[in-house]
Structure 1
Amino acid sequence: MTKTVEFILDLAAPNGYLAWYPLKDIVARTGAQLVVTPVFLGGMHKLTGNAPPMMRDADVKGKVPYAALEFRRFLDRHGMDRFSMHPDLPFNSILLQRLLVAADDEAQRQALVDVLQPAVWEQNIDCGDAEVVGKVLADAGFDARALLERTQDDAVKQELVANTSSAVERGAFGIPTFFVGDEMWFGKERLDQLESYLSGGKP
């Protein structure tokens, strides 16, 4: 039976960018299916008491510099030489996340992720500016006006809230989180474990 990987994602998380491309390769190698569930990381942090690592670990001697070292090693290992840390981090991603919810279907949602990841983490666009985001979408061939209008629908707003609450109830506390059924993995460092499980190994 084909396994489905659910990727809990907020585009405001740099580790979500780092995980996206290796994850797609893993899905292709294992024959799994990929589903993206957009959540709001700010809401997730509020519900769980979590915080961005650079803030949470600021007073732990040596931890933030080491995390930065591992981050750079991951970029180098996967050839992600276009990545640029967003100068406004942490920023409000509510517009981007509502866009992902507003997608017509899963294929369009993943196509939006493919377009928005580099816009955020390579071009460092203003993620709260609808005109800037709209230009990115239009340049990629999307109906930017229709998608942006949908972000204001109450149903879209409520779905994002529900996605976030559901992910937390299932155990998620940050990005990137992956589910295969009831099994959960957190962090880009767990991608090898995820691939092993998809290939028939233990979780």
Structure 2
Amino acid sequence: MTRTIEYILDLAAPNGYLAWYPLKAIAERTGAELVVTPVFLGGMHKLTGNAPPMFRDKDVKGKVAYAALEFQRFLDRHGMSDFCMHPALPFNSILLQRILVAAQDEDERRALVDALQPAVWERNIDCGDVDAVRGVLEEGGFDADRLLAGTQEAEVKQKLIDNTSHAVERGAFGIPTVFVGKEMWFGKERLGQIEDYLSGGKP
């Protein structure tokens, strides 16, 4: 039976970009199906009391600098030379997240993540600018009118809220979070553990 890797994702999280590509490779190597559950990170932080690490850890001597070192090590190890930290971070990702919810199926949702990740974290588009986002969608061959119209639908808005609250109820508090069944992993540093688990190892 095919295992499912559920990726809890907000495109506003830089670590969400970093984990996306290795996670896709893990899914391919293990024969698992990768599905994306879009959530709103701002809402998740509000529900859990969490905060972006650069704010949460700013008064801890040495911790932010070490986090930056580990971040760069990950980029180097995975050859992510095109990554560029977004100058507007933290920014509002509600438009992008609603687009992911509005996808017509899981295949389109994964394709949207593939198109939007580099737009956000390599080209640093204005994620709240509808015209800029439309350009990315059209460039990727998506039906931009359908997807952007979907972001205004009450059902899509509510689904994003529900996804966020449900993820928190299951234990999620930040991005990237991965579920395989009821097992949860947080952080890009856990990718090896996820692959071990899918390959028959203990969690």
TM class by shorter-chain length?
over 0.9
Q: TM-score, normalised by structure 2?
A: 1.00
User: What does residue range 158-197 of structure 1 map to in structure 2 within 5 Å?
Assistant: 158-197=158-197
Unaligned stretches of 5+ residues in structure 2: none
Q: Which residue of 2 aligns with 1:106?
A: 106
Q: Which residue of 2 aligns with 1:34?
A: 34
- Structure 1: which 4+ aligned runs deviate by more than 4 Å? none
Cα drift, residue 146 of structure 1: 1.2
Cα drift, residue 82 of structure 1: 0.1
Deviations 1:39-66 (A, max 9, x none): 0000000000000000000000000000
Q: Which amino acid aligns with 1:90?
A: P
Q: Which residue of 1 aligns with 2:54?
A: 54
Q: Which residue of 1 aligns with 2:96?
A: 96
For 2:16 and 2:93, the matched residues in 1 are separated by 13
Q: Which amino acid aligns with 1:122?
A: E
For 2:23 and 2:146, the matched residues in 1 are separated by 29
Q: Which residue of 1 aligns with 2:20?
A: 20
Cα root mean square deviation, aligned? 0.4
Cα drift, residue 182 of structure 1: 0.4
Q: Which residue of 2 aligns with 1:69?
A: 69
Cα drift, residue 5 of structure 1: 0.5
Cα drift, residue 145 of structure 1: 1.2
Deviations 1:48-92 (A, max 9, x none): 000000000000000000000000000000000000000000000
Please say which of residues 49-58 and 135-144 is displaced more in the overlay: 135-144
For 1:134 and 1:170, the matched residues in 2 are separated by 33
Percent sequence identity is: 77
User: What does residue range 113-192 of structure 1 map to in structure 2 within 5 Å?
Assistant: 113-192=113-192
Deviations 1:66-119 (A, max 9, x none): 000000000000000000000000000000000000000000000000000000
Deviations 1:112-140 (A, max 9, x none): 00000000000000000011000110011
Q: TM-score, normalised by structure 1?
A: 1.00
For 2:171 and 2:148, the matched residues in 1 are separated by 31
SS for the counterpart of 2:74 is helix
Cα drift, residue 184 of structure 1: 0.2
Unaligned stretches of 5+ residues in structure 1: none
